[in-house]
Amino acid sequence: MRTVNAWAATSATEPLSATTIDRRDVGENDVLIEIAYAGICHSDIHTARSEWGEAPYPLVVGHEIAGTVTEVGSGVTQHAVGDRVGVGCMVNSCRECDACKAGKEQYCTQQIGTYGMTDRDGSITQGGYSTHIVVDADFTLKIPEGVGLDVAAPLLCAGVTTWSPLRRFGVGEGSKVAVVGLGGLGHMGVQLAVAMGAEVTVLSQSLKKQEDGIALGATDYRATSDESTFEDLQGTFDLIINTVSANLPIHEYMALLGVEGTLVNVGAPVEPFTVPAFSLIGGGKSLAGSMIGGIPETQEMLDFCAEKGIGSKIEIIPAEKVNEAWDRVVNSDVRYRFVIDAATI
């Protein structure tokens, strides 16, 4: 066991504060990672504020982790000391069920999340807002050369969460894709869809970030506060990815899909959606969901990003600014991912 620095939530309402946590000894199939950067995902905030249910306090969140391997267990063959690696939203799963065998460990009923879940030893998992983490080697990803650890960290959640549905729904050359919300997930979704050959429209609350959206490769950028957006774009898209952290009138967005188009929801607001049956049956449309991505597809996404020169657009902050950064994320004032410099934790 080793004691390491971390920033933890102690209740749903208190700001995060500096503390120490214990990390287990490096087991046979484990790696010890010295964390360099930890991205701030909106899910960290939902969880720590108990918006999705009571969180186990004290809790260290963070599941966009990038760093360097400093120790490996005796059975580890795929990672070595000095390797640049990442950890996303999962640290283990059963490995035997159909989902695990298909490389979709995120849908394993025994999947263990990087924070706030009961680990194999009965302890509660603690995430990336810390200096070190011990993780099973099979849930440790390789960060390719050419992608900085800072811009790679957000790929481990925001990247794969948008990559997975883009691949599942066959986005490619000429696909018409809309991304709703230009935040952490949204700005990755735009870049990945563009790199896959899609024609991408951003649907944002306002035109404040229009220039950025176009620079990321979008060909069209519309404000959802403008009623004419919903008139002009009726029946346009093959796929809409909704990344919004708040509730939306989903049926208005369903109307923007072409025949047999799909709206895939990755945003995770607290309130349920209301979807009239006719917004689905007219046009044979689908409403789908998607949760992060499996380990093989996460590696595929990281390699694709290296090949295409894609990274997250980040603002690096010291740990003491984390509460301020959270407020800015909640206020849609993030461009486009905050990343904590772990050396300041």
Contacting residues toward Zn ion, per CB under 5 A: 41, 43, 93-94, 97, 100, 108, 157
What is the size of the binding site for ligand NAP (CB under 6 A)? 29
Peptide bond into 253 cis (omega under 30): no
Q: Which does 261 bind (CB under 5 to 8 A by kind): Zn ion, ligand NAP, none?
A: none
Q: Which of 88, 181, 261, 311 binds ligand NAP (CB under 6 A)?
A: 181
Q: Which of 267, 298, 312, 319 binds ligand NAP (CB under 6 A)?
A: 267
- Build a one-symbol-per-residue string for 70-109: x at contacts with ligand NAP by CB under 6 A, - elsewhere: ----------------------------------------
Binding part of the chain for ligand NAP, among 12-20, 78-86, 132-140, 289-297 by CB under 6 A, reads 289-297
The residue (of 128 and 181) whose beta carbon lies closer to ligand NAP is 181
**Dihedral (Cα; 315, 324, 44, 18), 10-degree rounding:** 100
Q: Which of 135, 334, 339, 342 binds ligand NAP (CB under 6 A)?
A: 334
Q: Which residues contact 153 (CB under 8 A, 6 or more apart)?
A: 36, 37, 38, 39, 64, 65, 66, 86, 312, 314, 337, 339
Owner of token pair 């969180």: 55
Residue 11: CB atoms within 10 Å:
13
* 287 lines the binding site for ligand NAP (CB under 6 A): no
* 61 lines the binding site for ligand NAP (CB under 6 A): no
What is the rounded CA–CA span in Å between residue 179 and residue 219? 12
Binding site for ligand NAP (CB under 6 A): 41-43, 46, 157-158, 161, 181-186, 204-205, 209, 243-246, 266-268, 290-292, 329, 332, 334
